[in-house]
A and B are shown apart, each in its own frame.
Chain A
Amino acid sequence: MSATQTIDWIRDGQRGLGTRAPAWLADHRARALEAFETIGFPTTRNESYRFTSVAPIAGTAFDLASPEAEGAAAIAAANEIKDSAATAVVVNGCFDETLSAYGSLPLGVVVDGLANAFDTDGSNARDIASQLDTDGLPFAMLNAAFLEDGIHIVVPEGAVLTSPLQVVVVTLPEDKAVMAHPRIVIEAGGQSQATVVLSFVGGGGQPYLTNVVTQVRLGHGAVLELVTDQRETEQAFHTHHLHAYCEAGAILHSRAVSLGGRLVRNDLAAVLDGEGAHASIDGVYLADGDELVDNHTSIDHAVAHCTSHELYKGILAGKGRAVFNGRILVRPDAQKTDAKQTNRALLLSNDATINSNPQLEIFADDVKCTHGAAVGQLDDEALFYLQARGLSPAQARDMLLHAFANEVLGEISVPELRIALEHRLFSRINRYLAE
């Protein structure tokens, strides 16, 4: 695909957006579209897409999804956390107020549609959304070119939420392939504490593209657990750029679980920009059949005395493929950085593959940075030990897989979600192994 080629379905899709957009938004979209058209869809010649061909996305003429989709309510309901403080639902890219529900939110907590937030006086949503840096991120450019709606969450300074906030993003094609480009903006005020769950689900037999951008700001000393619960359909394409900016003393726990989708590309960037900030960036992913899951993470240690701890664990079956690229940038001023990165993958079949690549860029001298990758099969001696005590081969295998995934899943603070994710993981693994 030539770099300047106009992709008709993208132009057509953009025309489908409302014409009533305010000037800043129209301008934002136009500039993003221009940026995207200058570079086009990435090819495998692009270093960051070397192992991930997005040709199946580029080659599918997606319509802009319509916000009225029959069946979305049921899908959203099936994936809601029962005891969340609030559930905000996005259907085909747009906030759906009628499907959303709020319990008793503490004073000052905002959970709203992003388009509403753009129109709300005093909201930071518009500033944050329009400041998105899409450099090197073609799908984030596309998201900006289609910016219209999504979710805005504000946890005000000092607020401590004991129940999670959940965003359920449903993309539901009807008789044709569709795309949705929701934007999620999360502000965690200084010293606040919260858990936010982003659930990505879909339905229908047609392909769809959920192309999300999530922008997160953590103020001084904020603690945010951000769970990405990605359970798209087998026909889905899912691209997600998550950008988290951490001020001094802020703690981000990102727990990204990818359990669905024909092609999944996550670009996660965390910026530690105040002393004492910490990010734990964890993930579990499963690819089977012909699926591809690509996790590109980037942790930017911008200042001194920050710590990051990253652990990604993959389970690959069938012809499943995975890519892991873990960039750690330690800037010249970021002395006393302590960064640890681990990617471990289990290959359950001979046809499964993974490309794992640490990318350490260290410009300070007094730092501790370690990285490790391990790719292997289930431990035969452990399997034998379990079987020698009476467990069937399948039981033994599940127990080891469970232990493997649980190092990340077990950290998720919402038991109900943890159980749902385990269930999904095992039903998928078993389905594959039964074939």
Chain B
Amino acid sequence: MLEIKGLTAKVEEKEILHGIDLTVNAGEVHAIMGPNGSGKSTLARVLAGHPGYEVTGGTITYDGQDLLELAADERARKGVFMAFQYPVEIPGVNNAYFLKAALNATRKEQGLEELDAIDFMTLVKGEAKRLQMDDSMLQRSVNEGFSGGEKKRNEIFHMAVLQPRLAVLDETDSGLDIDALRVVSEGVNALRSPERAFVVVTHYQRLLEYIVPDHVHVLSEGRIVRSGGRELALELEDKGYGWIESAGAGARR
């Protein structure tokens, strides 16, 4: 579904990603771990098509098409979703109203009929309930005044409504207490399916106890320095990231 080859990218004239290779098949969950500043969010934002990040080399293929050719909104309508590490507060834009516009834009692209207000509200209320989200969050401005945890929950709520094919979750676990983490993880697990893939970016392996990955990759200084199965996450938990940093590029496999 997703094939990243030799990806290099820079932001503000500084190269952050120095050659990423990653293949994600439908049905899989890949975890990307790594110390702060290693480039995890940069990778997520490049996948989502943030205009501030310039791809300087390599390719990204998504469902056989060149992802880099597509603008952020086109990617989204083709099923690429990124849950933001820091969701943006947008005063004056109603959360439900926005989500309805987003969902209908996607449905239109897929040749589906747009949902009317009643069907939409039925859908979102159901998803909100599953995520144990207060209904009032639907009628508030997008992320405005939300607590850290509410913002993350809202991201997963958007994902649940939009039903993407490829979801990139950028540190969705940070800022969540253990109960919230469980609820959010259940939300993600409910979406797991043979047609769908996840790239879960996290700093801690705790999340991976709830969202069990098929593959774990360690990112360090803009490179994937190790890949493995679930056990790699546990190893990191034990040893921390220190050994990777000291091993540097030499640890690359």
Contacts and interface: CB of A to CB of B under 8 A. Distances in A.
Interface string B25-56: 00000000000000000000000111110000
B101 interface: yes
A393 B51 CA distance: 12
B79 to A, nearest CB: 10
B90 A387 contact: no
Interface string A209-228: 00000000000000000000
Given A384-B51, A384-B72, A399-B98, A390 B77 contact: yes
A403 B144 CA distance: 13
Interface range on chain A: under 10, 10 to 19, 20 to 34, or 35 or more?
20 to 34
A404 B88 contact: no
Interface string B45-82: 00011111000000000000000000111011100011
A392 B90 contact: no
Given A395-B105, A396-B73, A388 B90 contact: no
Nearest to B92: A403
B71 A387 contact: yes
Interface in B123-152: 141-142
Given A389-B76, A390-B73, A406 B101 contact: no
A390 B76 contact: yes
Given A384-B50, A395-B105, A389 B98 contact: yes
B64 to A, nearest CB: 20
B253 to A, nearest CB: 32
Contacts of B106: 390
Interface string B176-195: 00000000000000000000
Interface string A371-407: 0000000011110111111111101100110111011
B171 to A, nearest CB: 16
A389 B158 contact: yes
Interface string B72-110: 110111000110100110111100001101110110010
A401 to B, nearest CB: 10
Contact of A387 (B72, B91, B93, B109): B72
Contacts of B90: 379, 382, 385-386, 400, 403
Nearest to A389: B102
Contacts of A392: 73, 105
B88 A391 contact: no
B75 to A, nearest CB: 8
Contacts of A404: 92
A388 B76 contact: yes
Interface residues of B, number: 32
B207 interface: no
Contacts of A402: 92-93
Contacts of B166: none
A13 B128 CA distance: 67
B82 A407 contact: no
B73 A391 contact: yes
B17 interface: no
Contact of A388 (B48, B99, B103, B142): B48
B160 interface: no
A392 B76 CA distance: 10
A400 B93 contact: yes
B76 A406 contact: no
B225 interface: no
B143 to A, nearest CB: 8
B105 A407 contact: no
B48 A391 contact: no
Contacts of B91: 403
B88 A387 contact: no
B162 interface: yes
B102 to A, nearest CB: 4
Contacts of A400: 90, 93
Contacts of A388: 48-50, 72-73, 75-76, 81-82, 84
A387 B73 contact: yes
A382 B89 CA distance: 7
A393 B71 CA distance: 10
B67 to A, nearest CB: 13
Given A388-B48, A388-B82, A407 B76 contact: no
Contact of B84 (A385, A391, A393, A395): A385
A407 B92 CA distance: 7
Contacts of A399: 93, 98, 101
A400 B87 CA distance: 16
B88 A382 contact: yes
A74 to B, nearest CB: 35
B102 A391 contact: yes
Contacts of A407: 92
Interface pairs A-B: 5 shortest CB-CB = A403-B92, A390-B76, A389-B102, A387-B73, A385-B88
Interface of A: 379-382, 384-393, 395-396, 399-400, 402-404, 406-407
5 contacts: A386-B98, A395-B101, A396-B73, A403-B92, A407-B92
